[in-house]
């Protein structure tokens, strides 16, 4: 399905989608200002998709604003930089904003109030740099997708050996209720966004750039149209407001009519999507030499007296921001990071702002009515009608509820983008998306368990092999010893026999000599008797008679 807009660009429509109440106007009345410096900043080493960063400084060390304090580990990872100058007060586990509610490794900075920058090295003319060098600089600056995904940006800007990038899309849609940080950034810093867009375009060598903004943000559209005046290859495209249009695959479909393959990437069809906030961060990194150390955050909800957007240093406790916006911590019934559709609940107020914190929603029952009791599915099909991925949520629900993990995968559970449209329209109040998150979690756990048991099985097999090998070695050694012993015994036997033979020979010789001596003696005495006493001659020594015998 497609339709013509008043402008030249043709737009397509994705399947489904919903129109939840926007609640955006409440946080766009005040201009953006810098948030107050907190007493300390807590910086998780894992603020992005991929491996956590590794500290490069020690506890007690002084750091400068913008200095890298943790380097990336591996290809999919991002560094962390000091948001201000000060001292590393601690490196250890602290609570972090994550659906699990668990703690993780963090670095704590106590600001010195000096705001003393490291030496910044802006690039005078980025067009003279090869794309690979630009990507490296973007990596060194710690830039990740600021739309909420947190994927390291430099990887996205590397088309590799894919075919050339035809279209670079800047995503200014911001379709989730309550969130207005991108809207305010587009209104207040359109030049930064265009500066970053040109850098990314150069890194990708993209032929055309589209900036997509929903039609509920007229001021942002006007600001960016003014900023791109004179650029023939950049177009600001106004798209009709529909949730979840800001989702990458849905936005690509709307702007280009192309479908990203279920198991593929936007790169595969010659398209790259970047968030407007990410583009502004790229501009600051390349054109000002400043790494990612702050971001715009929406502080909103009925528990906040003066909802607005603040430019916040990463690591700032959320409680400080709520209080700065006249929030009443006691009135908060649900604290959410992100929006009501795709955000997640936080269990404490002192968690730090991280690179992916776009909104802190301090909600009361007025904003988010309590969950109504879940009723049986009446198979009305409303959930399937609104699913932007064309899934069958009622089937996924059925199999998720009954832990049939093979079947949920058959029904493409992992294509679910967890947009919450199905839950939003369900007349039976079934929290469908929660069932899907649990099912995904169960499958991942099962995979991990399987991986663990495969590792254990391989270890067991290896151990058995080692035991068998050692047993065989011991047997061979024993056999070798036995053979050596046998050989020794045989030799001893032989020596013994030889000695016995020699002894026997010696005895025989001795007996023979004795007999000869006796015979000689008898012979001599016989001669004497025959001659009488006158014939007697002096007796010869024995050896003389021997000599005679020899002669």
Helices (H), 206-274: 218-227, 248-256
Cβ of residue 97: shortest distance to ligand SF4, in angstroms?
A: 22
- The answer to whether 12 and 239 have CB atoms below 8 angstroms apart is no
Structure tokens at 7: 């402008």
Which residues in 226-265 contact ligand SF4 (CB under 6 A)?
none
Question: Which CB sits closer to ligand SF4, 381 or 527?
Answer: 381
Which positions from 419 to 458 touch ligand SF4 by CB under 6 A, shown as an x/- string?
xxxx---xxx-x-xx--x----------------------
Cβ of residue 398: shortest distance to ligand SF4, in angstroms?
A: 9
Q: Quick one: which of 169, 178, 193, 174 has its CA closest to 277?
A: 193
Question: Which CB sits closer to ligand SF4, 219 or 429?
Answer: 429
Question: Which CB sits closer to ligand SF4, 141 or 389?
Answer: 389
Q: Quick one: which of 418, 333, 416, 434 has its CA closest to 374?
A: 434
Cβ of residue 440: shortest distance to ligand SF4, in angstroms?
A: 10
Which positions from 332 to 371 touch ligand SF4 by CB under 6 A, shown as an x/- string?
----------------------------------------
**Cα torsion 358, 28, 278, 271: sign:** positive
Question: Which CB sits closer to ligand SF4, 149 or 377?
Answer: 377
Structure tokens at 483: 């053979």
Residue 292 binds to ligand SF4 (criterion: CB under 6 A): no
Q: Which of 242, 269, 276, 417 binds ligand SF4 (CB under 6 A)?
A: 417
User: What does residue 488 show for φ and ψ, rounded to 5 degrees?
Assistant: -60, -45
Which residues in 375-414 contact ligand SF4 (CB under 6 A)?
377-383, 386-389, 391, 393-394, 397
Q: How many residues bind ligand SF4 (CB under 6 A)?
A: 29
Q: Quick one: which of 447, 440, 385, 451 has its CA closest to 417?
A: 440
Question: Which CB sits closer to ligand SF4, 84 or 428?
Answer: 428
Cβ of residue 347: shortest distance to ligand SF4, in angstroms?
A: 23
Give the end-to-end CA distance of the chain in Å, rounded to a whole number. Answer: 139
Cβ of residue 412: shortest distance to ligand SF4, in angstroms?
A: 9
Instruction: Please tell me the number of Cα atoms within 13 Å of 113 on its side-chain side.
Output: 1
Which residues in 47-66 contact ligand SF4 (CB under 6 A)?
none
DSSP 310: E
Which residues in 301-330 contact ligand SF4 (CB under 6 A)?
none
Cβ of residue 390: shortest distance to ligand SF4, in angstroms?
A: 8
Cβ within 8 Å of residue 372, ≥6 positions away: 429
Question: Which CB sits closer to ligand SF4, 91 or 426?
Answer: 426
Cβ of residue 379: shortest distance to ligand SF4, in angstroms?
A: 5
Rg of the chain over Cα atoms, rounded to whole angstroms, equals 45
Question: Which CB sits closer to ligand SF4, 173 or 421?
Answer: 421
Structure tokens at 28: 């766009």
Torsion from C-alpha of 11, 14, 16, 21, nearest 10 degrees: -50
Which residues in 268-287 contact ligand SF4 (CB under 6 A)?
none
Q: How far apart are CA 306 and CA 300, in angstroms?
A: 8
Question: Which CB sits closer to ligand SF4, 78 or 421?
Answer: 421
Q: Quick one: which of 341, 323, 329, 335 has its CA closest to 363?
A: 335
Q: How far apart are CA 260 and CA 218, in angstroms?
A: 29
Q: Is 458 helix (H, G, I), strand (E, B) or coil?
A: helix
Question: Which CB sits closer to ligand SF4, 131 or 431?
Answer: 431
Question: Which CB sits closer to ligand SF4, 113 or 381?
Answer: 381
Cβ of residue 356: shortest distance to ligand SF4, in angstroms?
A: 19
Cβ of residue 16: shortest distance to ligand SF4, in angstroms?
A: 7
Question: Which CB sits closer to ligand SF4, 314 or 413?
Answer: 413
Query: Residue 311 burial by CB count (10 A; 0-12/13-18/19+): exposed, middle or buried?
Result: middle
Q: How far apart are CA 153 and CA 172, in angstroms?
A: 17
- The answer to whether 221 and 238 have CB atoms below 8 angstroms apart is yes
Cβ of residue 383: shortest distance to ligand SF4, in angstroms?
A: 3
Can you give the binding site for ligand SF4, defined by CB under 6 A?
377-383, 386-389, 391, 393-394, 397, 416-422, 426-428, 430, 432-433, 436
């Amino acid at each position: 399905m497609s339709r013509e807009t008043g402008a030249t660009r043709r737009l397509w429509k994705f399947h489904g989608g919903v129109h939840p109440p926007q609640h955006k106007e409440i946080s766009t009345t005040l201009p953006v200002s810098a948030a107050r410096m907190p007493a300390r900043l807590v910086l998780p080493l894992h603020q992005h998709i991929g491996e956590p960063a590794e500290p490069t400084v020690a506890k007690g060390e002084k750091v400068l604003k913008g200095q890298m304090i943790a380097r990336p580990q591996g290809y999919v990872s991002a560094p962390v930089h000091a948001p201000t100058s000060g001292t590393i007060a601690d490196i250890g586990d602290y609570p972090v904003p994550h659906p699990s509610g668990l703690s993780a490794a963090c670095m704590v900075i106590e600001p010195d109030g000096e705001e003393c920058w490291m030496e910044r090295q802006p690039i005078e003319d980025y067009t003279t740099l090869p794309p690979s060098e630009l990507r490296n600089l973007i990596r060194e600056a710690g830039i990740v997708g600021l739309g909420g995904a947190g994927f390291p940006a430099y990887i996205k800007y590397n088309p590799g050996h894919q075919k050339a990038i035809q279209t670079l899309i800047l995503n200014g849609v911001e379709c989730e209720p309550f969130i207005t940080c991108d809207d305010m950034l587009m209104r207040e810093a359109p030049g930064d966004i265009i500066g970053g867009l040109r850098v990314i375009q150069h890194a990708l060598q993209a032929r055309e750039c589209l900036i997509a903004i929903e039609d509920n943000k007229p001021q942002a559209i006007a600001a960016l149209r003014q900023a791109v005046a004179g650029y023939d290859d950049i177009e600001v495209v106004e798209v009709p407001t529909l949730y979840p249009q800001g989702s990458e695959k849905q936005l690509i479909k709307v702007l280009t009519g192309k479908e990203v393959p279920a198991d593929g990437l936007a790169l595969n069809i010659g398209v790259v999507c970047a968030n407007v906030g990410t583009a502004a961060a790229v501009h600051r990194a390349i054109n000002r030499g400043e790494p990612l150390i702050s971001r715009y955050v929406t502080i909103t909800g009925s528990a906040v007296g003066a909802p607005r957007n603040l430019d916040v240093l990463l690591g700032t406790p959320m409680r400080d921001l709520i209080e700065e916006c006249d929030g009443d911590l006691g009135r908060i019934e649900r604290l959410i990071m992100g929006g009501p559709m795709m955000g997640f609940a936080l269990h404490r107020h002192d968690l730090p702002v991280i690179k992916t914190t776009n909104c802190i929603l301090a909600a009361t029952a007025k904003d988010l009515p309590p969950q109504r009791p879940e009723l049986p599915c009446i198979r009305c099909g409303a959930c399937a009608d609104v699913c932007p991925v064309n899934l069958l949520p009622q089937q996924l629900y059925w199999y998720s509820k009954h832990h049939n993990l093979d079947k949920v995968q058959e029904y493409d559970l992992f294509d679910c983008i967890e947009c919450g449209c199905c839950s939003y329209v369900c007349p039976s109040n079934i929290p469908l998306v929660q069932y899907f998150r649990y099912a995904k979690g169960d499958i991942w756990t099962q995979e991990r368990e399987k991986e663990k048991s495969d590792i254990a099985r391989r270890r067991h097999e290896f151990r058995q092999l080692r035991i068998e090998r050692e047993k065989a070695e011991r047997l061979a050694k024993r056999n070798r010893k036995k053979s050596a012993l046998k050989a020794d015994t045989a030799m001893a036997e032989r020596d013994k026999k030889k000695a016995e033979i020699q002894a026997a020979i010696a005895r025989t010789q001795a007996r023979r000599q004795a007999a000869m001596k006796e015979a000689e003696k008898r012979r001599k005495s016989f001669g004497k008797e025959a001659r009488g006493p006158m014939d007697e001659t002096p007796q010869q020594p024995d050896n003389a008679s021997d000599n005679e015998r020899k002669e």
